[in-house]
Amino acid sequence: MALPEIASREEWRAARAELLVREKAATRARDALNAERRRLPMVEIEEEYLFEGGDGKATLLDLFEGRHQLVVHHFMFAPEWDAGCRSCSAFLDQIGHLAHLKARGTTFAAVSRAPYPKILPFKARMGWTVPWYSSYGGRFNRDFEVTLETGGEQTERPGISCFLRDGDRVFHTYSTYERGLDGLGSTTSLLDLTALGRQEEWEEPAGRASALGAPAGSVRIRYHDEYDF
């Protein structure tokens, strides 16, 4: 096994300080990239997608649960499978308490092609409480490029798609797939994919922090049992 070299505490501190310079540069570069993502144009959704969830039939607008933003995890679970994808399951295991996303006007939900009666027992087995919907029989997965036609057969791939609501109008703002999900799972990492971001005053482009008519995002952080929802 190729282990790290052994050094004195002083040598370690010097090496750590040198690395910290590059880490801070990477953080600034990531902030700039997130700002460019927020500057992407958005596309209005005109298709009437229909899903099935715990409360029966639902539209894409319903998935927002009245909030301004929606983050959809395209969970790989084909209709003919008996269980969900292991890698997608590991990803969903990382999702923390949803209250902190909700406090920033953002809803998180998983969507799969499997019929809801197949999803429900698997969700119970995994102990998940996140909203999970079936897109069975619809075009949602194909339109958002997570169900692909390859050699006459359908194949699945994981992804994340973000949506923004303006009244009853729904817009697609961003999607990423496969390795694009690496490092995601925390509240801030998911918010960084959205059009409104973390809703902090320092974020660019300016004006997004007050888009929801509320104080900056960090000011709204509470213990998860102190929120009003």
pLDDT tens across the length of the chain (229 residues): 899 999 999 999 999 999 999 999 999 999 999 999 999 999 999 999 999 999 999 999 999 999 999 999 999 999 999 999 999 999 999 998 999 999 999 999 999 999 999 999 999 999 999 999 999 999 999 999 999 988 888 999 999 999 999 999 999 999 999 999 999 999 999 999 999 999 998 999 998 887 777 777 778 889 999 998 7
Cα–Cα dist 203/198, whole Å: 8
CA distances from 120 to 74, 96, 129, 131, 188 (A): 16, 20, 11, 11, 28
Where would I find the beta strands (DSSP E) of the chain?
A: 43-44, 50-53, 56-59, 69-74, 106-112, 132-134, 147-150, 153-156, 159-166, 169-177
What does the pLDDT read at residue 24? 98
Cα–Cα dist 130/30, whole Å: 28
What does the pLDDT read at residue 203? 93
Does this model's pTM top 0.75? My answer is yes
Residue given tokens 């144009």 in the structure block: 41
Contacts of 19 (CB under 8 A, 6+ apart): none
